[in-house]
Structure 1
Amino acid sequence: MPELIQAYWPYILIAFVIGIAVAWFAFAASRKTSVTTISKDVLDDDQSPAARNQALIDAPVKSAGVDDVPAAEAEPAPVPTPTKAADDLTQIKGLGPKIAVMLGEMGITDIAQIAAWDDAEIARVDAKLGRFQGRITRDNWVEQAKHLAQGDADAFADKFGNNG
């Protein structure tokens, strides 16, 4: 037997090292590691607020003045409307109740206002319509509004269909 150990000792040593490696992976490496921290969060009890948050809280409020708004972002004021009752904007094909509410919030309550829009006003209003963008030109709101504002119901019906 000592002759066998003497002849095969390198192989026995390799087998022993492999056995130790397999045992280490099976027992030590497969354990889940738990992470524990000793630092406390700012929101824990008995902790003061973070310095940067306190600086933001204590900072004076800066109100946006006319000088603070860049010229490119300044929007023209909506055209003031007469004190008469608002028109039913939903007479225009493609302008439903949700869009009518959005236009009302922008100060657009009269069909004559829509009839007077130019390309710049169309672009300004269209940018505020959100998911309804493109409807003004696609559905020809300005042309429809011109017919309705003039009271030309026959021309409106010929071009855009019956109203209602």
Structure 2
Amino acid sequence: MQEFFMDYGLWLLIALLVIIGIVFLLSGRNRPSEPVVPVEAKKAAAPVAAPPVAAPPVAPVEPVVSEPAAVAPVEPVAPAPQPIPVSPAVTTLSSGADDLLKLKGVGPKLNMLLIELGVTRYAQIAGWSDSDIAAIDAKLGNFKGRPVRDQWIDQAKYLAAGDLAGFEAKYGKI
């Protein structure tokens, strides 16, 4: 028997730890934090309201006069970030938003972030200047550097012009 434990003891210990871990993980799941009580039982167990009791008479209270408290100076509130200015070419387009997911390097999370920043059209991106790119890039968080690295402006110029063949020749199939 002693030879068995010496030969397989480490494997038995590992197996025991794995079984304990599995039991621990499974025992914590599917356990509601609060017992489920049917609605009918809740209605039946609801306490009955007691009749209102008249309040005892209250003697009049003299007002307390206190000195005015010192008012802390109000700090100015930073203005809300403004969306990227829209170029005049964009105002002539229809008011519908473009599918920014067609841009290579833009996924669902980045698409939502761009929409929150007010970027919804290819023409907006195509009209970005270096300062616009810097302003947007500063707000992209984990996606910082993507507009330049993925060449969004060039891609957006193709898509804004409707040149899908040129886009696909340079950047691949949409």
Counterpart pick for 1:132 among 140, 143, 147: 143
Structure (1 or 2) with the larger CA radius of gyration? 1
Specify the alignment match of 2:85 in structure 1.
79
1:59 partnered with 2:72 = yes
Specify the alignment match of 1:89 in structure 2.
100
Identity %: 47
RMSD: 2.7
Unaligned runs of 5+ in 2: 1-68
Structure 1 residue 76 displacement after superposition: 6.0
Specify the alignment match of 1:8 in structure 2.
none
Structure 1 residue 148 displacement after superposition: 0.3
Q: What is the CA–CA distance in structure 1 between the aligned matches of 2:172 and 2:148, rounded to whole Å?
A: 18
Structure 1 residue 61 displacement after superposition: 3.6
Q: What is the CA–CA distance in structure 2 between the aligned matches of 1:133 and 1:119, rounded to whole Å?
A: 14
The change in CA–CA distance for 1:65 and 1:127 in structure 2 (over 3 A counts) is closer
Structure 1 residue 79 displacement after superposition: 2.1
Counterpart pick for 1:107 among 76, 93, 118: 118
Unaligned runs of 5+ in 1: 1-53, 67-73
Q: What is the CA–CA distance in structure 1 between the aligned matches of 2:172 and 2:100, rounded to whole Å?
A: 16
Q: What is the CA–CA distance in structure 2 between the aligned matches of 1:105 and 1:150, rounded to whole Å?
A: 24
Give the number of equivalent residue pairs.
Answer: 101
TM-score normalised by structure 1 residue count: 0.54
Q: What is the CA–CA distance in structure 1 between the aligned matches of 2:78 and 2:167, rounded to whole Å?
A: 46
TM-score normalised by structure 2 residue count: 0.51
